[in-house]
Structure 1
């Protein structure tokens, strides 16, 4: 039996960018995430939290917080994209490693834009194979240079999003170099089955993001052909237990794996009023503790 340790992230405080006047200031985020009862967090967008390791470590220590991972995007499905991807990835990996994290969560770039427009064609099988080889190499280099495990995060409107593209990605990548950040909300948003992925790929689940999708809002945005950003503005990611997937069965399945996992709560709410996140964060943690078996903080 594995151990599932719950954490949170700046995303649950409405943080999508390093600097945006609509966002909660970083000191308030740190104060409130600790006040809500969490001890594990992610870095969020690079530059939102202090990027000086000594300063950030001091701020975290004051609040009893530890970093589990950094998060970043890649564009490795594109030819000649290695250097631009590495320039984005390396500072995030360096800071995460300096904070004692063991993971780097990497997300794909988008095929659909903010307004729902198609900005790139979907990858065919040849493109998926190329992408898988490139991400495998990225994972190898991240491990060699920073000692971090690469956990790949499927993303709505991204080049790895639906169940079939997730499964194809897993087939085209080397488990020794990259595994899956199972984001329950993005999988459900794209019509996938979280429990099936856990059952079929138990050794590839290396990290987890916990979130739920409001099926009514999802149906509306899909009918209108809207992009993910607009869906979030409409509240497609909702507070548990108001959406799908049901989280208790997911947590039970995860705890049955032969692995210790971080499960980071993420409820996309950009933008949101500053007084909204803290009560939700408290209620969500209480819900997960009461319905998640042996989960811990």
Structure 2
């Protein structure tokens, strides 16, 4: 098994304020120097990186510069993360134009995985039809990503359309996209991460691992929170998952480099490291 790390540990996430009025500019971005992050991830012992699509925008006309820096650090671009509102049909044309640009960036960067998060929640709450509309649109995005040589998956996330287990089920009943199982977000949303992995074994295309303090929803290095990660890993092994495992630790207040190293040590000592 190969292990990657999410770049958002070093800087978190922001977005382009223009996206309030222009959907086409709605990219996630981790602030900071991506070269510093590449070095930190490689130094911690990982061989892959995941990052937001907005962090590739500065290299849109010079992607060779970015890919050379990645190779120079001894890394591969494992995944690129994007997102959208998804539930508003009238906005789909504009959202799809942005997704097409994002997919092109991910493909040019040599990514394997293309991860989509999001799905807006209305001020009046979720509607049943929102899952259908979002699911159909995600299938379209997934088709575009596959055509570009990427493996597309949807990432359940706190504060998004698909947060709890019933939301995940409703969305995945309406879409063909694969699952990126972020086990901490699934658990924080009230789900059993190992059970979700087992239930969607045939659609498990990508795995995000992080631990969590369930009393505060603060993320923790692997093995330092409340998740039964052994059960999660057992489930992944049992369903035959054999792809990249990406560790994510956004918002952690401690030493990020030390936390990354501890998480890797945990993985290497687990069944995934066998």
> Which category describes the TM-score, using the shorter chain as reference length?
0.7 to 0.9
Within-5 A mapping of 1:99-248: 99-111=109-121, 120-144=123-147, 146-174=148-176, 178-218=177-217, 236-248=218-230
| Alpha-carbon distance in structure 2 between the residues aligned to 1:163 and 1:5 | 28
| CA distance in 2 between partners of 1:185 and 1:48 (Å) | 26
Specify the alignment match of 1:39 in structure 2.
Answer: 47
Q: Quote the Cα distance in structure 2 between the aligned partners of 1:68 and 1:252.
A: 23
Q: TM-score, normalised by structure 1?
A: 0.80
SS at match of 1:106: strand
Distance, in Å, in 1 between the alignment partners of 2:52 and 2:273 is 23
Paired residues for 1:88-99 under 5 Å: 88-99=98-109
1:295 correspondence with 2:245: no
Q: Take 1:84 and 1:237, find their aligned partners in 2: how far apart are those partners?
A: 33
Q: Which residue of structure 2 lines up, in the alignment, with residue 114 of structure 1?
A: none
- Against the structure 1 CA distance between its residues 49 and 256, is the aligned structure 2 distance closer, same or farther, given a 3 Å change threshold? farther
Looking at structure 1, the residues matched to 34 and 232 of structure 2 have their Cα atoms a distance apart, in angstroms, of 31
Q: Secondary structure at the match of 2:159?
A: coil
CA 1:58 to 1:180, structure 2 compared with 1: closer, same or farther past 3 Å? same
State the structure with bigger RCO (CA 8 A, min sep 6), 1 or 2. 1
What is residue 21 of structure 2 aligned with on the other side?
none
SS of structure 2 residue aligned to 1:132: helix
Q: What secondary structure, in the 3-state scheme, does the structure 2 residue paired with 1:8 have?
A: strand
SS at match of 1:55: helix
Is residue 266 of structure 1 aligned with residue 274 of structure 2? no
How far the C-alpha of 1:196 sits from its partner, in A, is: 0.9
Q: How many residues align?
A: 260
Q: In 2 relative to 1, CA 87–15 (structure 1 residues): closer, same or farther, beyond 3 Å?
A: farther
Give the gaps of 5 or more residues in structure 2. Answer: 17-27
- Shift of residue 252 of structure 1? 2.2
Q: Is the 8 A contact 1:5 1:261 kept in 2?
A: yes
| Preserved CA contact (<8 Å) 2:198 2:239 | no
Going from structure 1 to structure 2, the CA distance change for 1:49 and 1:58 (only over 3 Å counts) comes to farther
Structure 1: which 4+ aligned runs deviate by more than 6 Å? none
TM-score computed with the length of structure 2 as normaliser: 0.86
Quote the residue 2:14 is aligned against: 17
Cα deviation 1:231-261 (Å, max 9, x = unaligned): xxxxx11222221322222122212223422
- Residues 240 and 107 from structure 1, CA distance in 2 versus in 1: closer, same or farther, beyond 3 angstroms? same
Structure 1 residue 294 displacement after superposition: 3.4
Q: Kindly state the Cα deviation for residue 282 of structure 1 after the two structures are TM-superposed.
A: 0.7
How far did residue 96 of structure 1 move?
1.8
Q: Distance in 2 between matches of 1:199 and 1:247?
A: 14
The answer to whether structure 1 residue 71 and structure 2 residue 56 are counterparts is no
Q: Which residue of 2 aligns with 1:282?
A: 261
Q: How many Å apart are 1:10 and its aligned residue? A: 0.8
User: How well do the aligned residues superpose, as a CA RMSD in angstroms?
Assistant: 2.3
